Every structure is written in C-alpha cells, then in structure tokens.
C-alpha cells in the first residue's frame, strides 16, 4: 500500500518533484603521476566541466578518484550531464581509466 505525502513531507524525503538523481564517477591516474599533475587535472576538471554545468562533485582520491556528481541545486541529473562529464574525462590525457555510471538516487535512504 502506498502512502500519500503532502508537499512538505515529499520535500523532506526527497520524493516526487524533489527527488535528486546523480551518478558515480571513477578515474585513475597512471602509477608515478606527480601530485602536482593530479592536482592540476582535478582542478581543471572541476573548473571546466563540473562548475560551468551547474554540477557539484563530491569525491576523493590520490591516483584513484571516486565520487558522486549531482546538481548544485535540488534537481535531477540527466543523460546530457553524464555525457558532458564523460566527454570531459575523455579530454584528459593523463587519466589511465575512466568510468561514468548510470543515474542513481542521490537523496536520503528511507526505511
């Protein structure tokens, strides 16, 4: 049986029009890549691909980076966002391997 929620509850639970979708991004640098190169590439990725498209990246790593990409504001990422990030990663010559996963629910997990 499904329960109906009012607008305040849907917003709090990230349901319906307040649902948030994001996607996972993984990329890896070759062994022996200098920390300065890693910093430069990651900073450029964020400033040239993530921020101009209204996206946010939450991730970490050293030679192997993993993170979640979602919109800066409440909303849903779509296929165009995934393609933009995928193309941005392809343009980076220093990355050894890259993957952009499917859209996932980025809100809270409720029981």
**How many CB atoms within 10 Å of residue 2?**
4
What's the rounded Cα separation, in Å, for the pair 31 and 29?
Answer: 6
- Is residue 68 helix, strand or coil? strand
Q: What is the mean pLDDT of residues 9-33?
A: 86
Q: Identify which of 96, 69, 66, 100 has the alpha carbon closest to the alpha carbon of residue 83.
A: 100
Residue 110, pLDDT above cutoff 50: no
Q: What is the mean pLDDT of residues 81-107?
A: 79
What's the rounded Cα separation, in Å, for the pair 47 and 19?
Answer: 26
Please report the pLDDT score of residue 109 as a whole number: 45
Q: What is the mean pLDDT of residues 100-106?
A: 74
What's the rounded Cα separation, in Å, for the pair 22 and 59?
Answer: 13
């Amino acid at each position: 049986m499904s329960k109906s929620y009012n607008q305040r509850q849907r917003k709090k639970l990230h349901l319906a029009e307040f649902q948030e979708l994001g996607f996972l991004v993984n990329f890896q640098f070759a062994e022996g890549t200098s920390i300065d190169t890693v910093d430069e590439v990651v900073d450029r990725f964020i400033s040239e691909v993530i921020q101009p498209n209204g996206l946010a990246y939450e991730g970490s790593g050293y030679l192997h980076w993993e993170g979640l990409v979602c919109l800066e504001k409440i909303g849903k990422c779509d296929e165009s966002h995934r393609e933009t990030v995928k193309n941005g990663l392809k343009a980076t010559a220093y990355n050894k391997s890259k993957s952009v996963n499917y859209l996932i629910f980025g809100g809270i997990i409720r029981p």
